[in-house]
């Protein structure tokens, strides 16, 4: 059964502190003394606030970001304002991707005091599902969904087994990103909506001396997953991969499509040897390749290489002939924030989540990271993502990460090795299938 969301994708201002001033006249000495006392009090309050988080009186937040990343910087700014406005201390620990993926579950199992944490929507709701607090009542009490991104909230409920256990932020979509200037030079007037149209566009681009499509070891398997899910729908595609049904005719159909593109020279000459981030940095951003299947975080990652004059375009993975799904289906989601079911400060943790994902600081996070805002009231998207917005808003069916291709962990390296060889032209479609069957 296809995963259909009920809504299409459509994507708090800080509180002011009131300061009271003492009336009457003051001498310079008394004013100076009061100023010194005020500084001392402020310092003492800050020390108590930091200590309160460590002792369990405040919040402990484990973040997937590095403190030096734009996301980390924006969240830290929001945390500082939150503590100033509410008096609630927050001990934020920037763990980075590796740190949180390897360290969070052991820490939770050991009973470490962690109130909230974040990561990818699927990892949080599937890998760490046993640790999550049900947020339905908190969301209802705070009227959270009034301005939330309806499609992403629906996605969170879907991956949460029908219950809201996480709150989305930093929305993203996985699609084809392309160089508009190359499309214009090659005479490609409209983005491809079908595989046949992509074939024609690639032929025009190749004639102008560019590599039509590039990829690398980090993302190449998503191409296989997308094509398999376009043919079958995600559920059947996932079952094929999980059960190793490599004799299913759709597997050979995918392989034939990519063998054909390889024979026509549509892939970068280095696609079989590209190690991330070679495809995005040395080819797409450098202007030698036109198209790259990646996430909406890509423009931010390569902005220093691509430069301000790079013309970003985006289109959904094309439909295939007689396929179950079309361009309305994609891997989209978000990073999400979740509350530890054992937290003693769930209400305060939800307040912080709201602070991150609504109003001023959601907009600031979008601006600083060149990302998509989560609050539907924040209408301004970074200009660099203007072509992503119509794609995001058109989606109705959600694929999980890699659209089925990585649903069998034991087969992932074998599938990646052989699909890479297929795109590189060193094996045929039939050899690809036979290698998987072995």
Q: Render pLDDT for 359-373 as a digit per residue (tens, 0 to 9).
A: 999 999 999 999 999
How far apart CA 102 and CA 275 sit, in angstroms, is: 23
What is the mean pLDDT of the segment spanning 313-339?
96
pLDDT exceeds 50 at position 8: no
> Average pLDDT, whole number, for the chain?
89
Residue 290 has pLDDT above 80, yes or no: yes
Task: Look at residue 412 and tell me whether its pLDDT is greater than 60.
Answer: yes
Q: What is the pLDDT of residues 295-311, one digit of tens each?
A: 999 999 999 999 999 99
pLDDT of residue 249: 98
Q: How many residues does the chain have?
A: 438
Residue 274 has pLDDT above 70, yes or no: yes
Say yes or no to pLDDT of 379 above 50.
yes
Give 16's Cβ-side CA count (13 Å radius).
Answer: 3
Per-residue model confidence (pLDDT) at position 40: 43
Is a pLDDT exceeding 60 seen at residue 25? Answer: no
Can you give the pLDDT at residue 103?
Answer: 96
Give me the mean pLDDT over the 179-195 stretch: 98
In this predicted structure, what is the pLDDT of residue 410? 92
- Residue 240 tokens read as 């094929």
User: Does residue 22 carry a pLDDT above 60?
Assistant: no
Q: What is the pLDDT of residue 56?
A: 58
Stretch 377-385: mean pLDDT, rounded?
A: 92
Alpha-carbon dihedral sign for residues 48, 52, 53, 57: negative
Residue 42, pLDDT > 70, answer no
At 165 the pLDDT is: 98
Q: Which residues contact 130 (CB under 8 A, 6 or more apart)?
A: none
Contact 292, 178 (CB under 8 A): yes
pLDDT at 7 (0 to 100)? 37
63-88 average pLDDT score: 96
Q: Burial level of 68, CB count in 10 A (0-12/13-18/19+)?
A: exposed
Q: If you average pLDDT over residues 9-31, what whole number do you get? A: 35
How far apart are alpha carbons 46 and 50 in whole angstroms? 6
Region of poorest pLDDT, from 137-146, 208-217, 251-260, 374-383: 374-383
pLDDT at site 176: 98
Q: What is the mean pLDDT of residues 388-414?
A: 92
* Range in 1-10, 184-193, 297-306, 413-422 the model is least confident about: 1-10
Please, which residues have CB within 8 angstroms of residue 124's CB and are 6 or more apart in sequence?
Answer: 117, 118, 132, 166, 336, 338
**pLDDT in the model for residue 393:** 87
| The pLDDT of residue 57 | 76
- pLDDT at residue 10 is higher than 50: no
Give pLDDT, residue 199: 98
Average pLDDT over residues 132-160: 94
Looking at residue 283, the DSSP 8-state letter turns out to be I
Query: Lowest-confidence range among 34-43, 277-286, 404-413, 414-423?
Result: 34-43
**Least confident stretch, 14-18, 52-56, 76-80, 111-115:** 14-18
Angle between helices 429-437 and 249-263 (to 10 degrees): 140
pLDDT score for 190: 96
User: Peptide bond preceding 277: is omega within 30 degrees of 0, i.e. cis?
Assistant: yes
Domains identified in the chain and CATH numbers: 53-172+332-388 (3.40.190.10), 173-331+392-437 (3.40.190.10)
Q: Tens digit of pLDDT for each residue in 245-273?
A: 999 999 999 999 999 999 999 999 999 99
In this predicted model, what pLDDT tens digit does every residue of 229-241 receive, in sequence order?
999 999 999 999 9
Per-residue CA distances from 48 to 16, 44, 180 (Å): 22, 6, 54
The predicted pLDDT at position 53 comes to 53
- Taking the C-alpha atoms of residue 324 and residue 124, their distance in angstroms, rounded to an integer, is 29
């Amino acid at each position: 059964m296809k995963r259909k969301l009920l809504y299409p994708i459509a994507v708090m201002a800080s509180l002011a502190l009131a300061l009271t001033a003492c009336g009457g006249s003051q001498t310079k000495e008394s004013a100076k003394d009061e100023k010194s006392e005020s500084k001392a009090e402020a310092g003492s309050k800050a020390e108590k606030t930091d200590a309160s988080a460590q002792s369990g009186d405040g919040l402990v937040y484990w973040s997937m970001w590095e403190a030096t990343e734009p996301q980390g910087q924006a969240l830290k700014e929001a945390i500082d304002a939150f503590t100033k406005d509410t008096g609630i201390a927050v001990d934020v620990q920037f763990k980075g991707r590796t740190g949180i993926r390897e360290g969070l579950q052991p820490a939770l199992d050991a009973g470490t005091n962690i109130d909230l944490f974040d990561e990818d929507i699927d990892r949080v709701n599937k890998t760490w599902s046993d640790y999550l607090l049900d947020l339905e009542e908190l969301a209802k009490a705070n009227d959270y969904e009034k301005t939330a991104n309806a499609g992403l909230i629906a996605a969170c409920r879907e991956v949460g087994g029908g219950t809201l256990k996480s709150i989305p932020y930093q929305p993203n979509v996985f699609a084809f990103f392309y160089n508009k200037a190359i499309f214009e030079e090659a005479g490609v007037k409209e983005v491809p909506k079908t595989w046949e149209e992509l074939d024609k566009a690639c032929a025009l681009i190749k004639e102008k001396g560019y590599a039509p499509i590039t990829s690398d070891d980090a993302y190449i398997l998503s191409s296989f997953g997308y094509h398999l899910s376009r043919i079958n729908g995600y559920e059947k595609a996932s079952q094929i991969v999980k059960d190793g049904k490599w004799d299913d005719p759709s597997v050979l159909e995918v392989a034939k499509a990519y063998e054909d593109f390889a024979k026509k020279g549509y892939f970068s000459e280095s696609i079989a040897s590209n190690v991330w981030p070679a495809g995005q940095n040395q080819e797409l951003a450098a202007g030698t390749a036109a198209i790259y299947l990646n996430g909406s975080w890509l423009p931010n990652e390569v902005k220093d290489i691509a430069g301000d004059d790079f013309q970003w375009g985006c289109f959904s993975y094309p439909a295939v002939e007689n396929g179950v799904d079309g361009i309305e289906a994609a891997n989209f989601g978000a990073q999400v924030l979740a509350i530890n079911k054992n937290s003693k400060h769930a209400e305060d943790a939800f307040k912080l989540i709201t602070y991150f994902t609504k109003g001023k600081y959601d907009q600031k996070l979008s601006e600083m990271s060149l990302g998509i805002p989560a609050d539907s009231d924040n209408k301004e998207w970074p200009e660099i993502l203007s072509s992503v917005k119509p794609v995001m808003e058109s989606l109705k069916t959600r694929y999980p990460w890699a659209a089925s291709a990585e649903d069998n962990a034991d087969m992932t390296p074998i599938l990646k090795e052989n699909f890479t060889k297929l795109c590189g032209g060193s094996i045929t479609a039939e050899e690809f299938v036979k290698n998987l069957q072995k």
